[in-house]
Chains A and B, each alone.
Chain A
Amino acid sequence: MNPQDKRRYWKKNLRYLFFLLVIWFVSSFILGIVLVDYLDGVKKTPEGITVEDSNSFFNGFRLGGFKLGFWIAEQGAIYVFLIIIGLYVWLMNKLDKEFNIEEKEISTSDH
């Protein structure tokens, strides 16, 4: 690879990473933690007691037998993580091909 290609390859790699890490953050920290009560259709009173939240769009919503927030926190986020890594493998393999990166077996060496 010439230096220009290298720069392009790295830039694209960084763009992929940014995009995938945003999905990672939103699926777990935003949906699974910050908004989890809203997605469950409940809210906490100042005393810390959970009550139904009729203002939540998701109040009464069920995904099968699951409340949405609960499902994301205990199941959905993990599936999204898998999809993220799957996408990453696919995108990077494509990128390697695009830049004609022939991968030889790299040796683990001790020098």
Chain B
Amino acid sequence: MDVQVWTYIIVGLTFALYIAIAIRSRAGSTKEFYVAGGGVSPLANGLATAADWMSAASFLGMAGIISFSGRDGSVYLMGWTGGYVLLALLLAPYLRKFGKFTVPDFVGDRYYSQTARIIAVVCALFISFTYVAGQMRGVGIVFSRFLQVDITLGVIIGMAIVFLYAVLGGMKGITYTQVAQYCVLIFAFSVPAIYISIMLTGNAVPQLGFGSDLINEPGVSLLDKLDGLSTELGFDKYTTGKKDTMDTFFITMALMVGTAGLPHVIVRFFTVPKVSDARKSGLYALFFIAILYTVAPAVSAFARTNLLDTIPNTSYKEAPDWFRKWEKSGLIAWKDKNQDGIIQYTKGKPFEGKPNFVKLDNGDFKRGFNGEIVVSNKIIKGENELYIDKDIMVLANPEIAGLPDWVIALVAAGGLAAALSTAAGLLLVISTSVAHDLIKKSINPNISEKGELYAARLAAIGAVLIAGYFGINPPDYVAAVVALAFGLAAASFFPILILGIFSKKVNKQGAICGMLIGLASTLAYIIYFKFVNVNLNTPENWLFGISPEGFGTVGMVLNFIITLIVSKFTPEPPTEVQNMVENIRYPGDAKG
């Protein structure tokens, strides 16, 4: 059987599983739709949170980014795990005790203000929509890469699947499909990693393998070999970092705090029965996430070593098969600048932009002298002749290492699981925000239970359609917009959630000013450098050397300071609110 048949079988089986779960767990009430009835076990919630959190970017993108940035990749490794410490210690138990359905619910009640609630809804919607567009695109890309299906059709298939379990099952359906999706994605990520680790170092644990000696060269550790290969070819050493320390600090903080402020992650902690379960599921969640996040840097190092060992200074004709196969997908391209038939790979870009392949009249690719696909891009001066998309490090990794076909098929199913599970979690936040926070809590408080559930389903349908539209017609700025989502979560939600729990005196005036200023400053900074003056986006122009990716940290600090100062000079919150804050600090029935 070839890869494609395997892929159809494995992806088909996983989809059948998700649909079966969706049909079995239909939501009958708003409580089931919003928080799965509040009866999810901490273990299941930990698994679901992990799948919810790990998106197409974690699964397909991250290892590739680290592969090309070496030690600097730790920004993402620490940034996207460290937030769980904040979440588990500072937010989850208290928000669970508060016991409502959404983040805007807490903001609206704690700050006794419809204005605060509406600002929170707008933030939640904005963050979730920016994030979900990328996921749908991810689904389309996996389909097109592995099954040669058109990206549009891939997105539509993805929409149909998510539609089934998110619209029918709500949080209940999502939770149990996410449990299944975690299992699929972690299996798909680990199997190739373990295989490659054994092949290169003889150690079956990838986390240890990338610190071990090579089988082929006893006494030489893998990372030393990689450092050696890198310097030989004119790259920086893999194990060193280039990023400015201060900027690294700010980006990592923004990612951590942003993670803790993402509404689709926070809401998962509303689904467990007790406060102690919320703490426990924080631990489970990080455990399951850490499996992928500690394997990923090993995958990066393995893939980089294999790449540098096999491709540079090889002639195109003798290059391994995967090179020619993935060339067709446009993830890799070669421009023989010095016309010696040999692939030169070193620092710098080979040409401008993504490869633009020349096609013949009959639709085939135009082939060059050595058989390579001809690119028409404007050449950039320099010796490097090779274009490599970062995504290839995970997508093609099994082939680069020569693994069996079914492992390659597994990677497709894993990428789909990662993208679909995150998309579903985000769609639920969107539908809850509209049906619960906007309609029930702001526009029509008298809506019946049945009417609200109906509205939630309609909102979910609307959200799936909009997300699908952006998946098919992605705005150019998808990547830039993800930085925005984290920055905004850090600058808007995190400070007022923390202060709302740990201070009784912080009031609505403070929270509203804090949120608005945190948001406005972060938005302005990111939009200025990412959209308005893209060519000014260099360290010399940044405020205190902080990149747009790290500016969420500044917005967060501003939010904290403003909220505290304004609260100091305006009236205290009413007694009921102060009592509520008192009440959420103790598990159990603290009134008794």
Q: Which residues of A contact B (CB under 8 A)?
A: 1, 6, 9-10, 13, 17, 20-21, 24, 28-29, 32-34, 36-37, 40, 42, 48, 50, 62-67, 69-71, 73-75, 77-79, 81-82, 84-86, 88-89, 92-93, 96, 101-110
A107 touches B38 (CB 8 A): yes
Instruction: Tell yes or no: B576 within 8 A of A by CB.
Output: no
Using A65-B223, A82-B286, A88-B89 as known contacts, say yes or no to A108 and B101 having CB atoms under 8 A apart.
yes
Residue of A67, A74, A93, A110 with highest tally of chain B CB at under 10 A: A74
Chain B's interface size range is 35 or more
Q: Which residues of B contact A (CB under 8 A)?
A: 30-31, 34-35, 38, 66, 71, 73-74, 77-78, 81-82, 84-86, 88-90, 93, 96-97, 99-101, 207-208, 210-213, 221-224, 236-237, 239-242, 245, 248-249, 252-253, 256, 270, 273-276, 279-280, 282-283, 286-287, 290, 293-294, 297, 582, 585-590
A105 touches B89 (CB 8 A): no
A71: nearest residue on chain B (CB-CB)?
Answer: B211
| A69 CB to nearest B CB, Å | 8
Within 8 Å CB of A101, what residues of B? 586-588
Within 8 Å CB of B224, what residues of A? 65
Within 8 Å CB of B66, what residues of A? 74
Measured CA separation A78–B588 after assembly (Å)? 31
B223: nearest residue on chain A (CB-CB)?
Answer: A65
17 contacts between A and B (CB under 8 A): A1-B586, A6-B586, A20-B85, A24-B82, A28-B256, A37-B241, A50-B242, A65-B212, A75-B297, A82-B287, A86-B283, A88-B89, A88-B279, A106-B274, A106-B275, A108-B35, A108-B38
Using A65-B221, A108-B38 as known contacts, say yes or no to A85 and B283 having CB atoms under 8 A apart.
yes
Using A29-B249, A33-B252, A65-B213 as known contacts, say yes or no to A89 and B587 having CB atoms under 8 A apart.
no
Contact of B294 among A29, A78, A89 (CB under 8 A): A78
B36: nearest residue on chain A (CB-CB)?
Answer: A108
Measured CA separation A77–B585 after assembly (Å)? 29
B280 touches A89 (CB 8 A): yes
Contact of B82 among A6, A28, A64 (CB under 8 A): A28
Contact of B31 among A66, A78, A108 (CB under 8 A): A108
B90 touches A17 (CB 8 A): yes
Measured CA separation A72–B475 after assembly (Å)? 37
B245 touches A21 (CB 8 A): no
| A51 CB to nearest B CB, Å | 10
Within 8 Å CB of A10, what residues of B? 585-586
